[in-house]
Amino acid sequence: MASNNFRIIVSSLLLLSLVFPSMAGNENTPAVGKTVDVVVEGMVYCQSCKHYGTWSLSEAEPIASAKVSVVCKNEKDQVSYYKAFQTNDNGYFYAQLAGFKMNNYLVEHPLQSCTVKLVSSPLENCSLLSNVNYGMYGAPLQYEGKRLFGKSYEAVIYAAGPLAFRPSNCPTRA
């Protein structure tokens, strides 16, 4: 009788570990105190007049100090995160989303809920918004397998764009 009770207890514990895997050790769980940041990167260009009206970035020039915004929405389609970021001298932006939180992993995951929009260009002759890669209405994020690892730090890096402003005074085509 005691051996039957022992078997029942052992079987119950094994079943519980299958039903509640978090009770069993999981080596893929982040270490205590480890932070995982979300980062968005991309490029901002001035589109060539030759390719005005298309999505081509052939002959485009990077724009230093251009501003983009990262906008994330929650499951109720309300803005849950917004911040503007500036490009470096090469037109590249690295947007670390400090304070970004997900309440619903499926709906509020950055790939589903965040977009990047053009905000402003410092160039007077190239400051009109274009919708290249949906820069006017919100470029979707893409995961390209980039991650940064540290002892107590991890960053998942998503890409957006490339995005482009367009020149305001392109000659009309005949």
pLDDT given at position 17: 42
pLDDT given at position 141: 93
pLDDT given at position 18: 38
pLDDT given at position 2: 53
pLDDT given at position 110: 79
Q: Where are the alpha helices (DSSP H) in the chain?
A: 2-19, 110-113
Which pTM was predicted?
A: 0.74
List of residues 6+ apart from 17 with CB closer than 8 A: 23, 24
Residues paired with 143 in a beta bridge:
158
List of residues 6+ apart from 37 with CB closer than 8 A: 96, 97, 98, 153, 154, 155, 156
pLDDT given at position 137: 93
pLDDT given at position 90: 97
Which pairing describes strands 153-166 and 35-46: parallel, antiparallel, or unpaired? parallel
> How confident is the chain (174 residues) per 10-residue block, as mean pLDDT?
49 41 40 69 94 88 96 87 95 90 70 90 94 92 87 86 90 64
Domains and CATH numbers, the chain: 1-26 (no CATH), 31-166 (2.60.40)
